[in-house]
Amino acid sequence: MNKINLLSYHPIVDIHENVAFANNGNVVVCYKGILPEIYSLAEKDFEDIHGTWFQAVKSLPTGCVVHKQDIYLKQNYTAEQLPNKTFLEQATHNHFKGREFIKHQCYLFFILTKNKALNNSKYVNPFRKVSKNSIQEIDEHINTFMGAVKDSVSFINNSRKMEFTALNAQEIHSLTDNYFNGFNTGFDTDILLDTAQRGNKSKTNIGEHYFDVLAVNSELCFGESVQTSKTNERFTSDDFVFHQGYIDSLGLTLNENHIVNQIIYLDDKQKWRKQLDKKVEELNKSSNFGSQNKVVLKKIQHILDQINADDNARVIRGHLNIMYWDREVRNLDRIASKIKAEFKELDIVPYYPRGEERKNYILNSYCCFSSNFSNEDLYVTDLKHALCLLINNTNYKSDPTGVIFNDREHNIPVLKDVWDEHKKRIKARNFAIFAPTGEGKSFLANNILRQYFESGVRLVIIDLGGSYTKFAKLYPEQYTVLRYESGKNLGINPFYISNLNDLTPERLEDLSVFLFELFSSDLKVTKAQSVSVKKILRHYYSQISEGHSLNSFYEFIETNQEQLLKQLKIHPDYFNITNFLHIMSEYVGDGLYSFLFEVSEDQTYKIEDKRLIVFELDEVKDNKEILSVMLKLIKSAIQRTIWKNRAEKGIILFDEFAKQLKFDNVLESVEFYYQAIRKQNGAIGIILQSINQLPNNSTSASILENTQVIYSLNNEKGYDELQKRLSLSSHDLNQLKSIKNNLAGSRKYTEMFIKIGKESNIFRLEVPKEVYAAYLTDGSENEEIMKLYEQHQNMEKAILEFTSKT
């Protein structure tokens, strides 16, 4: 048969849920797989996965065929998942739309055959007409088989590293149609066998695609041994080893249209062991004992020794093939060379089938027909050996929503949900960014915060470096920048209330904490002292109807100091008025820091309706007292505005955090945010050049414990301290060491390590030129954009004019 029309010879007679009944009497249980992300697995992970496969497959019944099929298709990125409303969203959407990448689909099939002995002739025509009697009905035997398959899949899924879910009837039909349609899109076609000629070679042709195959079909194809994993030469360096699965180089990174089929025949254990014994005996007796026979004998003896040494050994027959295709016949030789080169690295010599045999391999690598291979097409080995030839990873996984990064293979966008609304991966969504100067930490922070902001999250940025003003100017009605200037205040009055209804218990609690932080920051506040201050505050507001401020509160206590405690029934031990007036005198009247609280009216109304608030404290970074008071004032403003609505998502970012950490009381003040944020729908971010800038004490330990999203950029000094303080795994460390940036060429990117809870991988950050311009924080290019902004008073226009020149 040289032409096959699928409508005339459909391979499936019936489908019940995920069970296909084939026209040849086979019963096929069908699953699709969700595998770990490529590059996310350590050497031990590969060993664990191999062990999982072995336990799951070894007990399946005799006569069962297991077929794992990995399909790799060249596709163009549609960008449908990317938001496309704002200026920067549209730029990102357009930048990545149409980019070529490889899409991976993983399938797992369990086949129960009518021919339990699996002793097929050399060529089986899968499309021959079969009598109705050969179709199997669901009976006790099939139910027992399906039960064994469910147990096997449950065991794999319980490993938590892989997940296989049942295919539905539509998915099974779709897979069948795509396979026999040669993965052509937009039209249906016939399979034409052996029609395209190239030299002396004929090719299989389906629609616009020409197909070819390379296979591992004999134990003689293998070299000395196989492993669960091998060194990944691309990322391994002198001081660390990066691992990949044994045949991963034939998967995603091959970067061609292809299918990897691994088929395992679980038949009579003893029969094939005897077959190997017989082969050894024949080779030993051979009269003309040549060098080739010696090689063959050595290989078979090695396999037998492995089987005999392992009590758990399960002898199987197996078949591995790689089908590949292209629109141009001439490209098939190029792809074959790539595949052969990868096989050579693995010390495997593939077999190249031609003519009738190639046709046989292509047709019978479809799941309903994969029981059709003969003994000549199969190698005999131990199950553990065969399972080393599975591909156990896939593309980077995009979450339904999240921050856009890029994968490490094709630089296509990957959405990572670092907020985790339902807390499936993380219990605390606080994050930290670690990177030395010049490695792009502010650029990365801009990228994360901008996307959060555009998705509706409210931002408060406490900045000592001026890195966020430019990006803020893209949203003219929605941001405000409160900048500290020497000798001036921020316009925040913690005592301001618009009416008495503002004076809630929470508000009084916050005010009392604020006062204690100012006048007794070194002491632990007792319950009695706290109650006393709240009583005085309530009395103050009941007596003074307007002009509330720290100055007014101070004067009220000073004026009423003789009778105040007696009137409110407060014991002098619980509130020392003399001490209070002495310490607070520094912040009122002509006190040294009185300017911080000189407020004619409260300015916090300016931030109440803003969704992006930047506090620029660059001028204050070296003054412990002013910085500490500023952070307290900011905290009071946040509590009164941003945290009023607990349903609203919010993020507080401390940039240049190390400069703030020079002072002990600042660390305590920040820890308060970490404790308070738990009650809010929010997150805190910190940016540090090195984790060593965080003091090694209990406060820092508490902060790190509540930080479960970690970003690290390239650090030439190494990552040992980061690993130690964050308890990172050895593979996390290897991932960090493998970071490489590419700041030349058409696709510039930086690489970063991201760990979300227990999941980690290396991601890239590639952005379009408009986004790059928006995130620049210094240098001549930044100055040019700011000049254009001054000219147009429109940041979008300034960026477009700047990018049109570059």
Residue pLDDT, tens place only, 376-387: 899 888 899 999
Assign 133 a pLDDT band (cuts: 50, 70, 90).
low
Range from 37-46, 327-336, 609-618, 730-739 carrying the lowest mean pLDDT: 609-618
Mean pLDDT of 747-766: 95
Mean pLDDT of 226-245: 89
Assign 470 a pLDDT band (cuts: 50, 70, 90).
confident
Range from 39-53, 117-131, 214-228, 501-515 carrying the lowest mean pLDDT: 117-131
Length of the chain as a residue count? 806
Mean pLDDT of 387-392: 96
The reported pLDDT for the residue numbered 492 is 81
If one compares 29 and 649, the residue with the highest pLDDT of the two is 29
Tokens of 27: 């019963």
Average pLDDT, the chain: 86
Cβ within 8 Å of residue 396, ≥6 positions away: 37, 38, 407, 408, 409, 414, 761, 763
- CB neighbour burial string for 653-666, b if at least 16 within 10 angstroms, e if fewer: bbbbbbbbbebebb
Mean pLDDT of 607-630: 79
Task: Evaluate if residue 602 carries a pLDDT over 80.
Answer: no
The reported pLDDT for the residue numbered 596 is 84
User: Mean pLDDT: which of 206-210, 366-370, 519-523, 695-699 is highest?
Assistant: 366-370
Assign 629 a pLDDT band (cuts: 50, 70, 90).
confident
The reported pLDDT for the residue numbered 634 is 82
Range from 49-58, 551-560, 661-670, 769-778 carrying the lowest mean pLDDT: 661-670
Task: Evaluate if residue 307 carries a pLDDT over 70.
Answer: no
User: Mean pLDDT: which of 121-130, 278-287, 706-715 is highest?
Assistant: 706-715
Assign 431 a pLDDT band (cuts: 50, 70, 90).
very high
In angstroms, the CA 199 to CA 192 distance is 18
In this structure, which amino acid lies at residue 564? Answer: L
Task: Evaluate if residue 215 carries a pLDDT over 50.
Answer: yes
Assign 7 a pLDDT band (cuts: 50, 70, 90).
low
Task: Evaluate if residue 196 carries a pLDDT over 60.
Answer: no
Range from 92-96, 260-264, 276-280, 570-574 carrying the lowest mean pLDDT: 276-280
The reported pLDDT for the residue numbered 348 is 93
The reported pLDDT for the residue numbered 1 is 45
Tokens of 432: 């930290």
Please give the share of the chain, as a percent, with pLDDT higher than 70.
Answer: 86
The reported pLDDT for the residue numbered 744 is 86
Mean pLDDT of 221-247: 88
The reported pLDDT for the residue numbered 366 is 94
- Identify the residue whose tokens are 């005085």: 536
Distance set, CA 783 to CA 471, 483, 780, 801 (Å): 14, 20, 5, 14
In angstroms, the CA 64 to CA 116 distance is 8
Consecutive H or E run containing 343: helix 331-345
8 Å CB contact between 708 and 701? no
* Positive/negative CA dihedral, 589, 590, 592, 594: positive
Mean pLDDT of 498-523: 81
pTM, two decimals, is 0.87
The reported pLDDT for the residue numbered 200 is 47
Number of helices (H) and strands (E), helices first, in the chain?
A: 26, 26
- Could you report the per-residue pLDDT of 638-673, keeping only the tens digit for each? 777 667 677 788 899 988 767 667 666 677 777 777
The reported pLDDT for the residue numbered 287 is 44
If one compares 638 and 101, the residue with the highest pLDDT of the two is 101
Task: Evaluate if residue 2 carries a pLDDT over 60.
Answer: no
Residue 302's SS3 state is helix
DSSP strands (E only) in 280-385: 315-326, 379-382
The reported pLDDT for the residue numbered 464 is 77
Distance set, CA 329 to CA 73, 188, 204, 215, 334 (Å): 17, 20, 10, 19, 10
* Positive/negative CA dihedral, 751, 754, 760, 765: negative
The reported pLDDT for the residue numbered 199 is 47
Assign 761 a pLDDT band (cuts: 50, 70, 90).
very high
CA angle centred on 126, ends 270 and 1, rounded to 5° = 135
* Positive/negative CA dihedral, 323, 328, 330, 334: negative
